[in-house]
Chain A
Amino acid sequence: MTTVTIIDYGMGNLDSLSRAIEQCGGAPLLTTDAATITTATKIILPGVGAFPKAMQNLRDLGLIDAIHEAAKTRPILGICLGMQLLADSSCEIEQTSGLGLIPGNIERLVPQQMERVPHVGWNEVVHDGHDALMSNIPSGVDFYFVHSYRFACANVADAVATTPYCGTTTCIVSRNNVRGVQFHPEKSLPWGFQLLRNFLAM
C-alpha cells in the first residue's frame, strides 16, 4: 500500500483527507517531522487557513528545507491553502513569502458582476488532459471550492487547469514533481477521489 505523508502543521481538515486517502487505497501518515518528510515517497501539503499563519507554522516546525529537498525527487501535492503556499508570495492579510516551488503570486479574487467572494461551492475544472493528475477525469466536471485568493502563475505552462470564476481562475498548478489544486479533492466525490488515486499512482 502506498504511504502518503501528510504534513500536519496545525492548519486544517487532516481527518477528512486521511479518510479519503484510505478510501482511495493509500496509507496516510501524518507528520510534523522534517526527517519523515525528507524520506517520504509521496507528500501532501493540506491546508485550510490564512497564508501568513501557515508559513509561520511551517517555519516554526522547521519543515521548509525538508519540503524543498523532497520536491526535488518526490511528488508533492498542495491542496487549497497548501497549493497557494507553493507560490513565491501572497498578499493575504500582509505580503508574505511562500515556499517558492512554483513561480507566481497569490492574489485576491476580484468578483465580476453578480459574483461573490469567497468562491464557495461546486464549479467546473477545465483542463487539456495532459497532466497525469487529471487522468481519467473529463474536463469540465465539478469540484468543491472554498477560497478567496488565487494562484497567478508566472509561467503560463504551470497553470494546467482553470475554473470559470472571477474571469478565468487557475485551479491546478504543475511543475516537475510539484502540483497544487485549489479545490478540495477529498470533498469532491466522485472525481476528487479519482484525482487522489492518480496522485497515489505517481
Chain B
Amino acid sequence: MLKIRVMPTLLYKDVSLVKGTAFDSQRRVGAALQAIKVYSMRDVDELIFLDIAATPNGHSPAFSDIDDLADSCFMPMTVGGGVRKLEDIRRMLAVGADKVSMNTAAIETPELIRDGAHHFGAQCIVASIDVKRRSDGTAEVYSHCGEQATGRDPVKWAQELEQLGAGEILLTSIERDGTMTGYDVELIRSVSNAVRIPVIASGGAGSYSHMADALRDGQASAVAAAAMFHFTEQTPKAAKQYLAQHGFPTRR
C-alpha cells in the first residue's frame, strides 16, 4: 500500500534556513546542509526545499547551492524558488532535485507547467499554491511568496494546473504558516476532492494530530511541516509512529 508521507519543509534564504509566521518575520534556524544531513540519516520520507528569496528578489534559483545540498541528500527532494523557464527546471533536476516546485511562474506563464510536464514528465512537476482567506472566508490564491493577490480560486486553479500537467500540488495556507495551530483542513479537502493528483498539505502543522486531520479529513497524500520540526521536540519519525497507531499506512 502506498504510504502517507511526512515531509519536513526547509525554507532557504541567503545561505541559511529561516522560518517565519504567515510568510513574514523569519528567524534563522541554522545551516541548511546540517539539517539535510540530519534528515538524511533519519530516513525522512521526502524533503521540500524552497528558496523563498529568489522570486521576490528576482533571482534565478541558487543552482550551485542546491547542488551542494543535494550531494548530502539521499532522500527524495522537491526544490522550488525562482524557477521561471524550462532551462531552470532542467538544471534543477540535473543538480539533484527529484521534483521541481513552481508557484509564481505557474501563474505568470502556465505554459511552463505544460512544457515542463512534456519534457520532464508530469511526475516531477509540483505546482505550489499559496492561499489566504478573504474577510468573508472565501479562499484566494497569492503569488510572489504571499505578496500578490491573484483573484483566483484555489480549487479552480488546482484543476487548471492538473489539466496543464502538474503531477502534484503543494497547498499552503499563508495565514496558518508558522502558527502551529493546525492546517486549513477545509481548504485541503476542497482541493483534494477536486483533483486526482496527490496533494501535499502545508501551513499550520503544530502536532501529530494536526497531520492526522489533514490526511483523514483533508484527504491529503502527504503532510508538510516546518516550524513544528524546527521549534518543538516533535520529529518526522515520531509523527509517523503516531500516524501508524492511528491507522495510516506509514513507511517503517
Contact B74 A93 (CB under 8 A): no
Chain A residues whose CB sits within 8 angstroms of the CB of B5 once the complex forms: 121-122
Complex Cα spacing A13 to B224, Å: 23
Using an 8 Å CB-CB cutoff, how does the interface string of A100-116 with B read, 1 for contact, 0 for none?
Answer: 00000000000100011
Cβ of B194 within 8 Å of any chain A Cβ, yes or no, is no
Cβ of B197 within 8 Å of any chain A Cβ, yes or no, is yes
Contact A50 B120 (CB under 8 A): yes
Chain A residues whose CB sits within 8 angstroms of the CB of B2 once the complex forms: 115, 119, 121-123, 165
Complex Cα spacing A31 to B167, Å: 30
Given A16-B96, A186-B74, A123 and B123 contact (CB-CB distance below 8 Å): no
Contact A15 B94 (CB under 8 A): yes
Contact B168 A148 (CB under 8 A): no
CB distance from B123 to the nearest CB of A (A): 4
Within 8 Å by CB of B96, from A15, A122, A146, A190, lies A15
Complex Cα spacing A19 to B73, Å: 9
Q: How many residues of A contact B (CB 8 A)?
A: 41
Chain A residues whose CB sits within 8 angstroms of the CB of B4 once the complex forms: 121
Contact A81 B221 (CB under 8 A): no
Complex Cα spacing A190 to B230, Å: 25
Contact A116 B196 (CB under 8 A): yes
Given A19-B71, A121-B3, A142-B3, A49 and B119 contact (CB-CB distance below 8 Å): yes
CB-contacts of B209-239 with A (<8 A)? 221-222
CB distance from A163 to the nearest CB of B (A): 9
Complex Cα spacing A93 to B222, Å: 27
Within 8 Å by CB of A148, from B73, B90, B123, lies B123
**Chain A CB within 10 Å — which of B4, B93, B99, B252 has the most?**
B93
Cβ of B121 within 8 Å of any chain A Cβ, yes or no, is yes
Contact B123 A146 (CB under 8 A): yes
Chain B residues whose CB sits within 8 angstroms of the CB of A187 once the complex forms: 74-76, 98
Chain A residues whose CB sits within 8 angstroms of the CB of B1 once the complex forms: 123-124, 164
Chain B residues whose CB sits within 8 angstroms of the CB of A49 once the complex forms: 119-121, 124
CB-contacts of B77-104 with A (<8 A)? 90, 93-99
Contact A16 B222 (CB under 8 A): no
Contact B124 A146 (CB under 8 A): yes
Cβ of A53 within 8 Å of any chain B Cβ, yes or no, is yes
CB distance from A18 to the nearest CB of B (A): 9
Chain B residues whose CB sits within 8 angstroms of the CB of A99 once the complex forms: none
Chain B residues whose CB sits within 8 angstroms of the CB of A45 once the complex forms: none
Chain A residues whose CB sits within 8 angstroms of the CB of B221 once the complex forms: 116, 120-121
Chain B residues whose CB sits within 8 angstroms of the CB of A116 once the complex forms: 196-198, 221
Within 8 Å by CB of A189, from B43, B97, B123, B222, lies B43
Cβ of B175 within 8 Å of any chain A Cβ, yes or no, is no
CB distance from A140 to the nearest CB of B (A): 11
Chain A residues whose CB sits within 8 angstroms of the CB of B197 once the complex forms: 116-118
Complex Cα spacing A187 to B3, Å: 16
Contact B119 A50 (CB under 8 A): yes
Cβ of B13 within 8 Å of any chain A Cβ, yes or no, is no
Show 11 A/B contacts (Cβ-Cβ < 8 Å), sorted by A: A12-B93, A15-B67, A16-B96, A49-B124, A81-B121, A93-B118, A120-B167, A121-B3, A121-B198, A123-B1, A146-B124
Q: List the 5 shortest-distance A-B pairs measured between CB atoms, nearest first.
A: A118-B123, A122-B251, A15-B96, A122-B3, A118-B167
Given contacts A48-B123, A116-B197, 18 further A-B contacts (CB under 8 A): A13-B96, A15-B67, A15-B70, A16-B96, A16-B98, A20-B74, A48-B121, A49-B119, A49-B120, A49-B124, A53-B118, A118-B168, A146-B76, A146-B99, A147-B123, A148-B123, A184-B98, A187-B98
